Every structure is written in structure tokens, then in C-alpha cells.
Structure 1
Amino acid sequence: MKRLAVTALVALTLASCQETPKGYVINGEVAGMPEGKIYLKSFRNKMFFDVDTAEVKDGKFTFKGEVDQPLLFGLATENMDYPVQLFVENTTMDVKIGDDGETITVQNSPVNTVFQENADKVFEDGYDIDSLIAKYPDSPAAAFYLYRYFTYQLPLDDLKTTRARISPALADCPYVKDLDGIIKQLENVQIGKTAPEFSLPDTAGVSVSLSDFRGKYVLLDFWASWCPPCRRENPNVVKAFNEYKDKNFTIIGISLDKDKSKWLKAIADDNLTWTHLSDLKYWDSEIPALYGVRGIPANVLLDPDGVIIAKNITGEDLHQKLKEVIK
């Protein structure tokens, strides 16, 4: 009996070792694409970067590798404008990409179950991100959604309360680390705080500092030529500038562009006749991060002493606030 028990224990141990995945395997299908290439892309700071390539044969492909923890990746063929997103974890996943190039289903992956169940819901008005975190406190997907879409929607106190629900087991998750960094930055740029100093090149490449404008009301306007909501808001900003530019008010446009020619063209096309600055680093720019900017358009209004007196005022709210503070 003892020998049988030992044998059974060894067999059980071997079975457990064999079941522990040492890496990921993505077995995928692409509808409507019998042949071609598909790219696996890592995600960082709203951007995707190629990390692997596979051949699509008879509509099927395979990726193999290993990740330190479940992380967001993208899959894209040469015909896709934007990658379809999924979490990659060290297991064997079955993936199907629809012929629309936008839908994706992932099986055999617990983290993707949470990710896919909420993929559309997070964009709905009134979505309760706090409930998602409370339900899945140890899910990287839930933490990702809080970091990616709600750091610029929730008031700081609400954001901190929801962050506190995340399990300590995710302390090393990059999305949680980034979330903590954003919270720290937001604490530094609350209304009543002195705006952080910075310097950036203008359109001619000359370095300009925020302190150069001390003594004026200043609207820091975060935007980009590639951002449709920004371009739609620009006429409203132009109207405000024209009304108050002779009343100790100015605007500093801070662009998240990466193509200088497109940046300059948008400035000219939209008649943006104020100071414009950019390091052309897209979302890797340090100044939006310094101000906790996670989505654009965004803005910060400063008084002549450089103190923040309003944030993210657009449309008629912008005009009402300027009328209120500029006598």
C-alpha cells in the first residue's frame, strides 16, 4: 500500500508539473485571410510596438513565448488600421479574429474573460468601474481598465478609493504602478496648487518656459493634430483667445503630435495664433504626464501667480470661467 501511495503521489506531482504552463501559446484564426502575416504587438502608454511576426496559412497562425505576468497585447494584420486587443498569459489560448478586423474572441484564458466581458461596457455612460474592481480585485484586466480609461474621468478622491480595492497581489503589475504614478501627479496639479514648471521647444525649436508667462492668465491647452475632438474644440478656443487676448490672457498650446509638418498644418488650418510647444514625442511626452493628462483635449487655467484655478473647461464653460476671473 505504501509503494502504491508513493507511486500515486509521484504521478500526481508529475501531472501537476506538466499542467503548469511555462509560456504562452496563441493558436489563432483570421476570418477571410487565408495567407499573409500577422503581428503580435506589446502595449505601452497607449501605443503598440511589434514584438513578433507569424505567417498566416489557411487562415491560421501560432505565436509562442513567455510573459512575466498577464499583459495587454495586440494582434494586427497588414490590412488592419488598429490592433485587436487581448491579454497574453502563460497558457494555451485559442483566438479567433473576425472578418471585420475588429472583433476577437479568446478562449482558455481567465484574464481575457474579464477583459472581453467589459470591453464595450467601459465606454458606456455611468459604467461602474468601482464595482468591477471590487468584483475582480486581483484581475490585471480590471486594473487595466481603471488605469486606461478612468484616471481622467474620476475625481481624485474617487480614483484613490477605487485604487485601494486592488489586491496587493497586483503590486508589480505595470498598470497598477502607472496608476499609482498618475495619482501622485494628479495630487500635484489640483486646483489651488502652483502649476509645475516646464520648458518645451516652440515651432521654431526655441525653448520656452512656463515661467516666461508669469503675470498673465494662462490656459495650458493639451491637444494634437490627430485628435478629432481637439480639432472640433479649437474654434471655441480661438473665440476665447480673441475675446480675452488683450485682457492679460494668453494660451500655450501643448501638442502630443509626433509629425511636425502635421502639427504646423493644423495650427495654420485652425487659425491658432498663440504660442505652441511640443517635443513631438506623442504620448511619451513628459509634460502631459507631469500634469496627469490621460486624454485630450484637456486644459489647465492658471492665474497670474501660476496657481491652478480651473481644469478641463471646454465649450461654454471656458467662456464662463474666463468671464468670471478676468475683470
Structure 2
Amino acid sequence: MKRLIALAISLAAIMVACDDSTQYKISGKITNAEGQYVYLDELKVSSSENVDSVKINKSGEFEFDGTVQHPTFFLLKLSEKNFITLLVDSAEQVYVSGDAANFSRDYLVTGSEGSTLVQELNQHLSNTKHQLDSISSLHVLFRNDPNYPTLKTKWEEEYKEVVEKQMKYSQNFVTTHPFSMANVLALYQKFDDQNFVVQDLQSLKTAASALNSFYPESEHVQALYANTIKLITDERNARINQLIREQGKNSPDIVLPDPDGKEIALSSLEGKHVLVQFWASQDRGSRIMNPVLVELYKKYNKKGFEIYQVSVDENRYEWLDAIDQDKLSWINVGDMEGSRTALMNYNVQSIPFNYLLDEEGKIIGKDLKGPALDRLLSKALN
């Protein structure tokens, strides 16, 4: 019995030790703050939440402890305007020292790699902004100087160099620390309210993907990943809109095989009004749309209307069976691999989806349903 009790005590001690090993501790010394309170807030995506507060003792010392499941951003605050940002992981023993008078600008942190990286990022950007402000102030001071036009050109070049240097530094930081949560801060840093420091979408995609694979449960990573997906979608929308504006026609071309294996190019149909219809044989919405298209094709085909239907199917037999059942007599193409290139190039997010092109290949309508398509064809072909 004594041996069992001793074993139980030993196991309990081990469990406590294991629990302790997952706890972080944030301690330190802040001079000239004796008797004041220091606050620990967890930094959320769009707000902060108070975790704890302690009174700084007569020696200027304080201590917090707690648990986190993944690297977490905290604000260590003396006041709303006098605080620092920490990035704390489980089991880290973080030590912070500084003086209350300039705590937010000058402090030392040890025991936390993430917090050190956060400090590096904030200080580098702060120095850059100080340089930019100094250059901007010269324009005001020397605006009436006879040599101002020459000086203005010189200062604009200096300003541009400082900006480019910061952008290069931040982009290199993201590349160098792909799996650090500090990248979240790096990717959201701004020169001002409108301009992000890191503007390279590829860097954003790489970092978001890497962090999402390591910390999918992090609120910050989830927000970053969702924002990245939106930016990618927006970029594709902007790209196709630019192509439409600049080239005046649907581009790039689509070249895919028909049921007989003959490759048919969309560009070969110039001179006709063409509906580029994306669909799938097993998609209910696509199959409901097909009878509507059959009626419109009968009505307008002899007047110069053609349908170029792109299948996103991966099963050839299902595709051919749907063509036969729905009596689709127009051009049907598909590579039986999802026609992914065509989908991506035309920014198709869902099916069924379509574009209506005029005789020159210019897009004159998109995502047109039965009545709307009928009205547009009637106007264009009559």
C-alpha cells in the first residue's frame, strides 16, 4: 500500500511538472513605476482583451503567468499610450525591463524569440517613419527657397529610397521567418492608413500558407488566410477586368477538345455572338439551365448566335450522357480534368456561369440567366 501511495504521489508530481512546463511566465522590472499597475491584454484581430493586472512592487518588479495553445500576441501596458507588444509561446520565460518614462520606445526583452522579432519589426518601421517625417518636413521648411525645385527632386528620391529599403527589409523578414507568428505583424504593418509595407502578393500567399499549416487554430492566422484568399480573388477579378479594358475582347483564348477529340478554339467563333457557358453534367443548376439554352439556341442560332459550352467534368461518360439526354447540339468542349486553366483564366467561381461575347469577342454580359440572356440577344441580333 505504501508503495502504491508513493507511486501515486510521484505520478502527481510528474503531472504538475508537465503542467508547469506548458505555462508561460512574463516578469520584469520597470523603473520609476513603483506602486503603479501594469496590465496584460491579449491582442485579438480587431480588439484587445484584458487577461490580468498586477501592482508593481517597490523594486519595480512584476510577474504574470498563464497558458497558451500557440504563439499569442499580448500588450504589456502601463497606460493606453504607453505599452509594448509581446509574442509569447507556451513555456517561455519572458523577462522585460525598461523605464516608465519611455517604456514603449526603449525596453529590453529576453526569453522569447517571437517578442524579440516583434520588437525588431516595430523599431525598424519606427526608424523608417522617423526618416520619412524628417524628409517631409524639409519640404515645408524650404518651400520658399529659390533652390526648392532642385531640392524637391533630391528629397523625393531620398524618400523613395527609404520606402524601398523598408519594403525590402520587411519582405526579406517574411521570407526568412516563414513559420514565425511575427510574420502576421510584418504583413499588416503600414506606412500610413492606406499603404501596407509588404505589397508583394506572393510573399503574402507563402506566409499565410505556411502559418496556416502550423497554427490553423490561431485567430490571427485564420484572419490572415481569409484575407489572402480574398486578395487573390480580387487580383484575378482585376486582371480579367484589365484584359477586357485593354484588349477589348475575351482573352486568353480557350482551346479544348470536343466529344470527338477535335480541338476547337473559342477564337474561331469570332464574327458571331457567342455564349461561353461553364457547366458540369452532375450539377443540378447546370442541367436546369440547359433546356433554357436549347430554346434560345433554336430562336437565335440562325441569326448568328453560337454556344461554346465548357465542361468541368472529370467523367467522360457522364458528360456524353448529359449532352445526349439534354439534346445539346452546339459546341461542347472539355479536357475531362476539370478544364481548370479555362476556369482560372476566366475567374469562374461557381457553375453554371457564362459570358456573352459580341462579334469581336468583347464581353457584353456575364452570368446571364434565361430572361436576361433572351433580352440581350434580342437587342443584339434583331
Structure-2-length-normalised TM-score: 0.44
d(CA) in 2 for partners of 1:304, 1:14 = 66
Partner of 1:152: none
d(CA) in 1 for partners of 2:326, 2:246 = 29
Residue 248 of structure 1 deviates from its aligned partner by 1.4
Partner of 1:250: 306
| 8 A Cα contact 2:271 2:360, kept in partner | yes
Residue 89 of structure 1 deviates from its aligned partner by 2.8
Q: 2:329 aligns with which of 252, 267, 273?
A: 273
Matched-pair identity in %: 26
Letter matched to residue 232 of structure 1: I
Partner of 2:359: 304
Partner of 1:18: 90
Higher share of residues assigned helix: 2
| 8 A Cα contact 1:191 1:308, kept in partner | no
- Pairing of 1:95-244 with structure 2 (within 5 A): 110=219, 140=223, 144=226, 173-174=228-229, 176-189=231-244, 193-196=248-251, 197-244=253-300
- Of structures 1 and 2, the one scoring higher in RCO (CA 8 A, sep 6+) is 1
d(CA) in 2 for partners of 1:311, 1:191 = 18
Higher share of residues assigned strand: 1
Residue 230 of structure 1 deviates from its aligned partner by 1.0
3-state DSSP of counterpart to 1:70: helix
3-state DSSP of counterpart to 1:231: helix
Letter matched to residue 89 of structure 1: Y
3-state DSSP of counterpart to 1:218: strand
Letter matched to residue 215 of structure 1: G
3-state DSSP of counterpart to 2:309: strand
Letter matched to residue 215 of structure 2: E
d(CA) in 2 for partners of 1:198, 1:318 = 22
Partner of 1:62: none
- RMSD over aligned CA atoms reads 3.8
Instruction: Say if 2:371 is the partner of 1:288.
Output: no
Residue 252 of structure 1 deviates from its aligned partner by 0.6
d(CA) in 2 for partners of 1:303, 1:260 = 30
Residue 295 of structure 1 deviates from its aligned partner by 1.2
Residue 243 of structure 1 deviates from its aligned partner by 0.8
Count of matched residue pairs: 193
Letter matched to residue 224 of structure 1: A
3-state DSSP of counterpart to 2:299: helix
Letter matched to residue 195 of structure 1: N
- Pairing of 1:31-70 with structure 2 (within 5 A): 68-70=210-212
Letter matched to residue 68 of structure 1: A
d(CA) in 2 for partners of 1:214, 1:270 = 26
Residue 308 of structure 1 deviates from its aligned partner by 1.4
Residue 265 of structure 1 deviates from its aligned partner by 0.8
Note closer, same or farther for the CA distance 1:239–1:191 as it changes in structure 2 (3 Å cut): farther
Q: Residue by residue, what CA displacement relative to the aligned partner does 1:60-97 show, whole Å, maximum 9, x if unpaired?
A: xxxxxxx72236xxxxxxxxxxxxxxxx8355xxxxxx
Q: Residue by residue, what CA displacement relative to the aligned partner does 1:149-198 show, whole Å, maximum 9, x if unpaired?
A: xxxxxxxxxxxxxxxxxxxxx5xx35533442343224434799311122
Structure-1-length-normalised TM-score: 0.50
3-state DSSP of counterpart to 1:279: coil
d(CA) in 2 for partners of 1:290, 1:311 = 15
Greater Rg by CA: 2
Q: Residue by residue, what CA displacement relative to the aligned partner does 1:25-83 show, whole Å, maximum 9, x if unpaired?
A: xxxxxxxxxxxxxxxxxxxxxxxxxxxxxxxxxxxxxxxxxx72236xxxxxxxxxxxx
- Unpaired runs of 5+ residues, structure 1, are 21-66, 72-87, 92-108, 112-137, 145-169
Note closer, same or farther for the CA distance 1:17–1:252 as it changes in structure 2 (3 Å cut): closer
| 8 A Cα contact 2:216 2:222, kept in partner | no
Note closer, same or farther for the CA distance 1:201–1:140 as it changes in structure 2 (3 Å cut): farther
Residue 322 of structure 1 deviates from its aligned partner by 0.8
- Unpaired runs of 5+ residues, structure 2, are 1-27, 30-58, 69-87, 93-208
Note closer, same or farther for the CA distance 1:181–1:240 as it changes in structure 2 (3 Å cut): same
Partner of 2:102: none
3-state DSSP of counterpart to 2:361: coil
Note closer, same or farther for the CA distance 1:90–1:216 as it changes in structure 2 (3 Å cut): closer
